[in-house]
Every structure is written in C-alpha cells, then in structure tokens.
Amino acid sequence: MITNAKAEQKYFWNLFEQYLTQNGNPFTILHEKTGEVTYWAVVNKKRIITDLALDLDFSLQKSIFRINIYIYQNVGLFNYLATRKEQIEKELGFSPIWSEGVRSKDSTRRIMVELPFSAYYRDDYHRLIEQALPIIYKFKQVFEKYIPDLFDFE
C-alpha cells in the first residue's frame, strides 16, 4: 500500500531523475529497495544498502534534504577525511557539517549539507533540486579523489 509519504517520495525521486536527464545524466541514483521507494537514494551504486555512499535523504518528516557522505562503521576513513578537512572544504567551496555519530564510536558518520524544503508542497521540490544539484556535483567531484571506491558498482 502506498502511503501519502511513499507517494510523495516517488514523485520527488521521479522529478529528480527528470532533472538528471535534462542535465545529461551526470550521475545515477538508486532509490528503490526490493521494488519499494525509499526516502533515501545513493549515487552511482548498484545496491541501495551499502556501508559507504554519496547518499541523498529526502525527509518529509523533518522537511530536510540531506546530501552526505555516508560512512558506516569505518572510523578510520572518517578520521582520514577529517585530517584533510581544511583542504576538502577549500575544494568544495563551502563547509559541510562533520557528524561523528552520537550512539557509539562505531555509529554512522556523515559529512553533510542539509537543505530545508516545504514538505508536500511540490512546487518547492523544483527549487530544492536546483539548489541541491551543484552541491551533489561538488561532493561527487571532491570526494571521489579522497575515497577511490566511493562509486564502485559492487
């Protein structure tokens, strides 16, 4: 059964894919798990569940679109990137949020940007996607240099 949230997620990701097509398909997104749409998508991966990804989260509940390097249980990788934080931020041209996780030392780490939007107001999704695309491009361009297997198609 499709809930209102699921229908909205499906609408948003379909719209996002239209923008990608209009921009020459600079990357792919995967946003379905066993045929069901998710609130998140991964960039240039063949599996939706992964421990390392350029991840996009469309949270209707929080009205936040999060663009993030998702690092699950790899403290060493996060620390490696953190030691290069100044250089990474210089290359990005902005300072993302560096989140070390809150539950335990092995919890998920993220390097992220959060963009607010008006949930269930579809006209705002166009603005959101246009705002997000340049940030996603920069994340992709910069982080693939530091994490060579970020976009491996496992």
CATH code, domain with 27? 3.30.1460
- Summarised one tens digit per residue, pLDDT across range 40-97 is 999 988 777 888 999 999 999 999 999 999 999 888 999 999 999 999 999 999 999 9
Range of the domain at 13: 4-146
- In the chain, what are the helix, strand and coil shares in percent, each to the nearest 5? 40, 25, 35
Q: Is 141 left (phi over 0), alpha (psi -120 to 50) or beta?
A: alpha
Residue 90 placed within a domain: yes
> Rounded distance, CA 133 to CA 137, Å?
6
Residue 137 lies in a domain: yes
- Cα–Cα–Cα angle for 36, 154, 99, rounded to 5 degrees: 75
Determine the angle formed by the axes of helices 85-92 and 122-146, rounding to 10 degrees.
130
- Whether 151 is in a domain gets the answer no
Task: Decide if 40 is inside a domain.
Answer: yes
The pLDDT assigned to 3 comes to 57
Angle at 91 (CA atoms; ends 81, 100), nearest 5 degrees = 30
Decide if 154 is inside a domain.
Answer: no
- Whole-number pLDDT of residue 106: 62
Q: Summarize pLDDT for 109-131 with one digit per residue, the tens.
A: 999 999 999 999 999 999 999 99
Share of the chain above pLDDT 70, in %: 93
Whether residue 154 is predicted with pLDDT greater than 80 in this model: the reply is no
**What confidence score (pLDDT) does residue 57 get?**
96
| Domain membership flag for residue 152 | no
Count how many domains the chain has: 1
Query: Quick check: pTM over 0.85?
Result: yes
